[in-house]
Amino acid sequence: MNESIKRVNAIFQKDFKDFSRNIAVSVVLFMPLFVAALYGRMGVDTLDAHYMIINLTFAMVATFVQCCLIAEEKEQNTLRGLMLSPASTFEILSGKSLLTFVLTILVIVAGALLSEYQPANLLIVSLAIVLSSFFYIALGTLLGLWAKSVMEASVIILPVLGIFSFGSFLLPLAEKYPVLKVVEYLPSVQLIEIASKVENGAGFSETAMQFGIIFIWTAAAGALTAIIYKKRMMD
């Protein structure tokens, strides 16, 4: 195991211990699972319902938890300690994102089992979910770096929750209000589009456009996060 992996692992293990003792934030893991269990018991089996749970998981776990983890590091002045250590920007951001990534995937899998969602093409849907989770984690990191405290982080996350989890609900209004056509390009809507196409037998080539749009969102969020992080290294 080289030094870089050791550092990423050290930050991951630290985050795991710290997070497991942070009831106020860790409790949000149960919210998507509760909704999934409810849908499962009610027999709700539409694609929109399954992806409402998945997009809720992205907003609540990938973005909100990540945002709180980063904001707390800033609030307690521990991020400065990491920045002054020999760990590189990539190692710190990877280490800080690994726990959220693992939690996001676990909650999505558990949620899918509870709501009894079985995608027609597990490989394509899994890849889309993994790529999407990178975007939402980058977004959470960005907001966490932006926020001055955990309290502020939990407020600025609300528009994100609204736009990315429930943005697809605005699509029916797009004909009346053309400006809302932009909603079609949200990563959450693109993910639903992939899932929908896959149900109709589509493969990688038919979903490349949607993967491309999610990738652009992810790359943009990642680049912006790296820029803001570098700025935060300066007083």
**Residues found near another protein in the complex (CB under 8 A):** 3, 6-7, 9-11, 13-14, 17-18, 21-22, 76-78, 80-82, 84-88, 233-235
What's the closest the beta carbon of residue 165 comes to another protein, in angstroms? 29
What's the closest the beta carbon of residue 18 comes to another protein, in angstroms? 5
Which CB sits closer to another protein, 40 or 95?
Answer: 95
What's the closest the beta carbon of residue 26 comes to another protein, in angstroms? 11
Sorted by sequence, the CB contacts under 8 Å of residue 55 that are 6+ apart come out as 164, 165, 166, 168, 188, 191, 192
Which CB sits closer to another protein, 9 or 196?
Answer: 9
CA 66, CA 162: separation in Å to the nearest integer?
A: 17
Which CB sits closer to another protein, 50 or 74?
Answer: 74
Which CB sits closer to another protein, 17 or 41?
Answer: 17
Q: How far is CA 76 from CA 16, 72, 113, in A?
A: 17, 6, 38
What's the closest the beta carbon of residue 229 comes to another protein, in angstroms? 13
For the CA atoms of 27, 73, 226, 132, the dihedral, rounded to the nearest 10 degrees, stands at -10
Which CB sits closer to another protein, 75 or 193?
Answer: 75
What's the closest the beta carbon of residue 80 comes to another protein, in angstroms? 7
CA 190, CA 149: separation in Å to the nearest integer?
A: 32
Tokens 């942070």 belong to: 22
Helical H segments across 115-203, by residue range: 122-146, 150-160, 166, 187-199
